[in-house]
Amino acid sequence: MSEVELAYIAGLLDGEGNIGISQQKHHTYSTQFSLRVAIYNTDLELLMFVKNILGGRVRISKKATERHKVLYIWIVTANMASDVLKKLLPYLKHVHNQALLALEFQLRIQNGKVRGKKRTPEEEIRVRREIKAKISYLNKLCQKSKRGSV
């Protein structure tokens, strides 16, 4: 992958994507979190280009309607998302701070994995929730600034 390709994909993530953390309460374990990086677009070929460069998967996000085209989504999660963000970080503008927080988050996940230990300490869950909230807040600010710049 070239620097030009990485910069181009970073632009797609800045303009058409998002970085987020999902949270689920598992019935047998404690709360589980997962990092996710996604780009949305109606151009399947474009997202297949991203997949061919960075991996991940492409699927339909929203089906076509009378008024709208099919919306596709390219997604990477967990460690793969972290690897992608490390590659794109030098080129990110709008979601740069979210990427830094996401990398910190995924490092905490990796460092927190202990064999045989099923419960994440409450303090770690609190920290992960804080990082998730910060990313969500920055995403909302980013959306507002994108709308305002049009």
Between CA 14 and CA 104, with CA 61 as vertex, the angle to 5 degrees is 45
For residues 61 and 71, the answer to whether their CB atoms sit within 8 Å is yes
Instruction: Using alpha carbons, select from 24, 20, 30 the residue that is nearest to residue 134.
Output: 20
Residue 51: per-residue pLDDT: 98
3-state percent breakdown (helix, strand, coil) of the chain, nearest 5? 55, 20, 25
pLDDT confidence of residue 68: 84
User: What residues are paired with 73 via a beta bridge?
Assistant: 40, 59
The domain segmentation of the chain, as residue ranges, is 3-148
Is residue 143 predicted with pLDDT exceeding 80? no
HSE-up (13 A, CA, CB side) for residue 6:
13
Q: How far apart are CA 135 and CA 97, in angstroms?
A: 8
Alpha carbon of residue 3 to chain centroid: 20
54 and 87 Cβ atoms separated by less than 8 Å: yes
- State pLDDT tens for residues 1-43: 899 999 999 999 999 999 999 988 766 666 788 999 999 999 9
Q: Where are the beta strands (DSSP E) in 26-144?
A: 31-41, 57-62, 71-77
pLDDT at 150: 46
The predicted-structure confidence for 53-88, as pLDDT tens digits, reads as follows 999 999 998 887 888 889 999 999 999 999 999 999
State the pLDDT at residue 26: 66
For 127-142, how does the pLDDT look when each residue is reduced to its tens digit (9 = 90+)? 999 999 999 999 998 8
Please give the pLDDT value at position 116. 55
Label residues 128-137 b or e (16+ Cβ within 10 Å = b): beebbebbee
User: Global pTM?
Assistant: 0.87
Q: Look at 51 and 146; give whichever has higher pLDDT.
A: 51
Q: Is domain 3-148 in CATH 3.10.28.10, yes or no?
A: yes
